[in-house]
Amino acid sequence: MTELADSIPENALWRDYLALCKLKVVALIVFTAVVGMFLSTPGMVPIDILLLGNIGIGLGAASGAAFNHIVDQRIDAMMVRTRARPLPRGRVSQTQAIAFASLLCVLSVVVLGLGVNVLTAVLTFASMIGYSVVYTMYLKRATPQNIVIGGAAGAMPPVLGWTAVSGTVDGYALLLFLIIFAWTPPHFWALAIHRRDDYAKADIPMLPVTHGLAFTRLHILLYTVILVVVSMLPFVTGMSGPIYMGGAFFLGLAFMSHALRLFFEDTSTGLPMRTFSFSIWYLAALFAVLLLDHYVPRSM
């Protein structure tokens, strides 16, 4: 595989390195971190913190994604969804991937530790370890509740953004964490339904594999209800105003509509993937409304 990786043109090899970073996922992570930054202050975020904070958080997320590719390369080769990734195809060697992921990790800690604050650097590193080691190496292979427990690592970005500006972990930051934590199971289980055969083939105990489709669809619905309730907490606690409340309400209705259809309708129609795709737009829109509400005067 090393010989194959060495024979790939340099520009193509860099595309493979970027593929290790899961850039679409990193973009959503950085966006929620940005919202966390702006919500932590009534004014504007200092430009140096905005730039260095998000560079460091993004590098940490990319490092975690790359380590995830390294750990999962064997099962990735067995699954239709992931077998075209750079490591299973031999386009990047394991040694190259480890060096690349380690470099991203070091850069993340250095940028955040020196340019932002030590707390954000430590929490970002802990989140990366939580995702690439605790979730990927252990939970993913040990329990069908893997995504529920491991979702804590993926819910950290807005907290990281908040600490980058304030230097402290505030209760409101934990509300943002709670929203993403509640969002993760219905988001990922919808994908797991669609890729159930893949996970079964790779012997990964995802909920649809271990407990069946009906049980998983019920839990998607229940967690969506929890998510809708949790999404109201920023308004209930006074963190956000009526603009956010209205946006969260209608976005919640739309998510509930998807979850109810998934519960009652045939999952072979492509509905699981439509639910998965919608959940991504839901989270981005919810955080966008949070940001909009933060800067619109309440008297309006």
Residue 65's nearest CA partner among 116, 100, 93 is 100
Residue 59's nearest CA partner among 20, 117, 14, 10 is 20
Task: Clarify whether residues 88 and 121 are in a common domain.
Answer: yes
Last residue within a domain, chosen from 150, 169, 188: 169
Task: Clarify whether residues 216 and 146 are in a common domain.
Answer: no
Q: Tell me the pLDDT tens digit for each residue of 197-256.
A: 888 888 889 999 999 999 999 999 999 999 999 999 999 999 999 999 999 999 999 999
What does the pLDDT read at residue 198?
A: 87
What does the pLDDT read at residue 17?
A: 81
Last residue within a domain, chosen from 119, 137, 169: 169
3-state helix, strand and coil shares in percent for the chain, rounded to the nearest 5: 80, 0, 20
Task: Clarify whether residues 116 and 233 are in a common domain.
Answer: no
Q: Which domain holds residue 47?
A: 1-169
Task: Clarify whether residues 103 and 182 are in a common domain.
Answer: no
Task: Clarify whether residues 76 and 19 are in a common domain.
Answer: yes
- Structural domain tally of the chain? 2
CB 255 within 8 A of CB 278: yes
Cα separation, 127 vs 6, whole angstroms: 32
Confidence of residue 72 (pLDDT cuts 50, 70, 90): confident
Q: Distances from the Cα of 132 to the Cαs of 39, 71, 160, 199, in angstroms?
A: 28, 8, 17, 18
Half-sphere exposure (Cβ direction) of 255: Cα atoms closer than 13 Å? 32
Task: Clarify whether residues 122 and 189 are in a common domain.
Answer: no
Averaged confidence pLDDT in the chain: 90
Confidence of residue 155 (pLDDT cuts 50, 70, 90): very high
Q: Is the pLDDT of residue 73 over 50?
A: yes
Supply the DSSP string of 21-33, one letter for each residue.
Answer: T-HHHHHHHHHHH
Q: Specify the pTM.
A: 0.91
What does the pLDDT read at residue 232?
A: 97
| Angle 28-29-32 from CA coordinates, rounded to 5° | 85
Q: Tell me the pLDDT tens digit for each residue of 85-113.
A: 888 888 888 999 999 999 999 999 999 99
Q: What is the mean pLDDT of residues 168-175?
A: 94
For residue 225, the tally of other CB atoms under 10 A from its CB is 16
Q: Distances from the Cα of 239 to the Cαs of 108, 160, 178, 294, 297, in angstroms?
A: 30, 18, 14, 9, 13
What's the CATH code of the domain at 80? 1.10.357.140
Tokens of 253: 């209705």
Task: Clarify whether residues 163 and 185 are in a common domain.
Answer: no
Residue 61 identity: A
Tokens 């943002």, residue located? 176
Confidence of residue 11 (pLDDT cuts 50, 70, 90): low
Task: Clarify whether residues 149 and 180 are in a common domain.
Answer: no
Q: Tell me the pLDDT tens digit for each residue of 49-68.
A: 999 999 999 999 999 999 99
Tokens of 103: 């470099």
Tokens of 207: 């909920």
Q: Tell me the pLDDT tens digit for each residue of 105-135.
A: 999 999 999 999 999 999 999 999 988 888 8
What does the pLDDT read at residue 19?
A: 82
Task: Clarify whether residues 156 and 285 are in a common domain.
Answer: no
Residue 179, helix vs strand vs coil: helix
Q: Which residue has the higher pLDDT, 13 or 159?
A: 159
DSSP 46: P
Task: Clarify whether residues 97 and 156 are in a common domain.
Answer: yes
How many residues are listed for the chain in this entry?
300
DSSP 132: I
What does the pLDDT read at residue 91?
A: 86
Q: What is the mean pLDDT of residues 144-155?
A: 85
Task: Clarify whether residues 6 and 132 are in a common domain.
Answer: yes
Tokens of 25: 């996922």
What does the pLDDT read at residue 1?
A: 42
Cα dihedral across residues 142, 147, 149, 155: positive or negative: positive
Cα separation, 193 vs 87, whole angstroms: 25
Task: Clarify whether residues 8 and 118 are in a common domain.
Answer: yes
Cα separation, 205 vs 143, whole angstroms: 6
Residue 256 identity: M
Tokens 């530790």, residue located? 113
Q: Is the pLDDT of residue 6 over 60?
A: no
Q: Is the pLDDT of residue 297 over 80?
A: no
Cα separation, 50 vs 93, whole angstroms: 34
Percent of the chain at pLDDT > 90 equals 65
What does the pLDDT read at residue 7?
A: 45
Confidence of residue 261 (pLDDT cuts 50, 70, 90): very high
Q: Is the pLDDT of residue 145 over 90?
A: no
Last residue within a domain, chosen from 135, 169, 203: 169
Q: What is the mean pLDDT of residues 132-151?
A: 83
Q: What are phi and psi of 237, to 5 degrees?
A: -85, -5
Q: What is the mean pLDDT of residues 27-38?
A: 96
